[in-house]
Amino acid sequence: MSIEARLTELGIKLPKAAAPVASYVPVVVHGSMAYVSGQLPFVDGELVTGHLGENVTPEQGIQAARACGLMILSQLVAAGISLDQVSRVVKLGGFVSSTPDFPGQPHIINGASDLMVDVFGDAGRHARSAVGVPVLPLNAAVEVDAIFALESD
């Protein structure tokens, strides 16, 4: 089954790829690897902002991490990479804007991790980091970046 068909089966429509908010490019392909810059969580066109443990619930955080994952996939497509070229999700880096006493960063980033497994199956299982930070760009609640291994055309 193609990844496009899998997305349809899952009821997933990818959002429009967001423009960079600073001096960087969203995707760099080097050899057989694609590196996707950190993506912010847009849910229904609105940026999810705030801090876990303060004014963002864990459920909202998980949804925000999933939204970051969807944006990562959108950035690959916008860069001209077919999702069928992805041979492996290698690593996700997750950043959670949270209070110092919030310990649930790994649980929050599962929103992005679970999406990758849903979309790519076993090839979606990846290495990962999940880090709590005091603030993210634009006051986003979550940010996720990614590394993918690609098959040649």
- Could you give the number of structural domains in the chain? 1
Q: Is residue 21 situated within a structural domain?
A: no
Indicate the pTM of the whole model: 0.97
Per-residue pLDDT of 57-112, as tens digits, reads 999 999 999 999 999 999 999 999 999 999 999 999 999 999 999 999 999 999 99
Q: Is residue 99 situated within a structural domain?
A: yes
Q: Is residue 42 situated within a structural domain?
A: yes
Q: Is residue 20 situated within a structural domain?
A: no
Instruction: Assign residue 95 the CATH number of its domain.
Output: 3.30.1330.40
Tokens describing residue 57:
């619930």
Query: What range defines the domain where residue 122 resides?
Result: 3-15+27-150
Q: Is residue 8 situated within a structural domain?
A: yes
Q: For residue 30, what are the β-bridge partners?
A: 33
Q: Is residue 22 situated within a structural domain?
A: no
**Cα–Cα distance for residue pair 81/27, rounded to 1 Å:** 10
Cβ(61)–Cβ(142) under 8 Å? Answer: yes
**Cα–Cα distance for residue pair 119/114, rounded to 1 Å:** 9
For the chain, what percent of residues have pLDDT higher than 90?
96
- Residue type present at position 2: S
- Residue type present at position 112: A
